[in-house]
Structure 1
C-alpha cells in the first residue's frame, strides 16, 4: 500500500515543473509575436495591392465597354457644413472644403469649375453626369457618407457653379524648370515621368470610388477599402475607399494645349493615407514598394 501511494503521488507535475513549462510557453509566445505582426502587415500589403490592381482593371473595362467614366463619384469635398453631430476631425468643417474625413486632406485643394467652363465640358464629355458630396456629419468616415446628388448632365448645369471637386495638390516636392510640384506628386503616386503630366493644360482631380459608384455591381461586386498600417486610420476613422485620378482638360488656348476640348481621362487608382505612412497619394507602384520594404524589415 505504501508503494502504491508513492506511485500515485509521483504521477502528477510538481509546482516547479509546471512553472518551468509555463515559462517556456510564454517565451515561445513572445518569439512568435513579431512574426504574427509581420504576417498581418504582409496580408494588408497584399490586399491593398490586389485591390488597386482590380480597381484599375475594372475601371479600364468599364471605360472600354461603355466609353465613359462611371458616374456617382464621390467629390471628396464636404457636401454640407459641420452641424456638430460627428465631432472629431470634422469639427468646424466648411461646406465645399476638402472632405474632413480624409486621412490627409492637405493632398487636395477644392476647385469649382463653373458652368460652361472648359473643365465642365471636359467632365461632361467623359460621361460623369452625376456626383455626390461627402457628409462630415456622419461618424463613420467611409460608409454612408454620401449626401446630395449633383447633376452634371450638361456643361451649362448650375451645379457646376457650386460643386467643388478635389484637385491634386502640390505635395511639397521640389520643383524644377521641367516639372511642377503637382506633376511630381502625380509621378510619385501613379508612376511614369513627371513630364507626362501637364498642369498647365489639365487639372488632375481625385474622385472617390464609393458604394454609390456605377462601377460597383457593373464590373465589381463591392467597393474595396484601403487597410492602413495604423489602425487609428481605419475606414471608420478616415475615408477608406480608393480614389480615381482623372485628367480634366482646363485650358485650350495656352501654347501646347489642345484647341479641341478633350473628355476627362482616367489615369489610375490611388489611396489617401496618413502622413506617417506616406507624404503623397499612394498608387500601385508605391504599394508594391512598401510591401517589399515591410517584408525586408521583418
Structure 2
C-alpha cells in the first residue's frame, strides 16, 4: 500500500532538530534547500454550504469545489424529519434526491433550493409537532450532522424560524523564509540561530504558490562548516480555492447569497465571479507569509 505524504498549507513552518555535542554554543549562519522539485498535483475537494433562509422560507444546499480538479458531488439526498414538542422524537417525512453531477474547480453551484411552505399545513394540523430537521445524506447512506438544519415552526407567525446559533495557533516567530514561488533547484537563506549543547530546534518557513508535491533536501552551515541532513523530504502542498476550507451550513457562502442572490435563484458561479463580488472569500495564498513571514509580496 502506498502511503501519501501529509497534506500541508502553502506556507509551511519547518522544525529541524540539530544535535550539538560540544559544550560551547554554535551559530547556524545559513540554511540551504537543494534538489528541490515541484510536481503538479491534482486534489479533489468538494465542500458544502447553505442553510435555511428565513425571509424566503427556503432551504439551500450548495457545493463548492475547493480543489484544483473537477469531481462529482458525493451527497445523494436531503432527508426531512419532524419532531414532537418536548419528547424530541423524530419522524421521517421524505427524502429529496440530489443529482449526481460534476463540479468544476473553483465553482460554487446550487444543488437544492426548496421552499418549506409545503409543511405549513402539517404543523397547523398536528400541534404536537414543533420542529423540522433537514439533514444531508452521502452516497454511503450516512447522514452528515454538520450539514443539518433544525428549524422551529412558529404558529403565531405561521412560518418557520431559525433556532439561535453561534457564529463562527500561535504566531510563527520571525524565522528564515524560503520563497519557492519560482521554480528553482536550490535556494539558501542567511540566518543567525544559536545551537546550545544537546538537541536544538532550528526553524524555517517555506512559501509555495500552487498545489504540488514538493521534494527537497536540507543542509546547514555554521561558518565554513557544512552539515547535510541525510533525509529527503516530501510534502503535499495544497492551495485551496476559498478561505473557507471546510464546509458547513450557515458559512461564508450562505452569507454571500444573503447579499448577492436574495431571490435565491439557481446558480453556478465561477471563482472569478466570486472574486469580483467578494474578493475576501477567495483564498489569498500570500496572506500568511505577509502576516507571519514579514515579507512584501
TM-score with structure 1 setting the length: 0.22
TM-score with structure 2 setting the length: 0.22
Per residue, is there more helix in 1 or in 2?
1
Greater RCO, 1 or 2 (C-alpha within 8 Å, sep 6+): 2
Per residue, is there more strand in 1 or in 2?
2
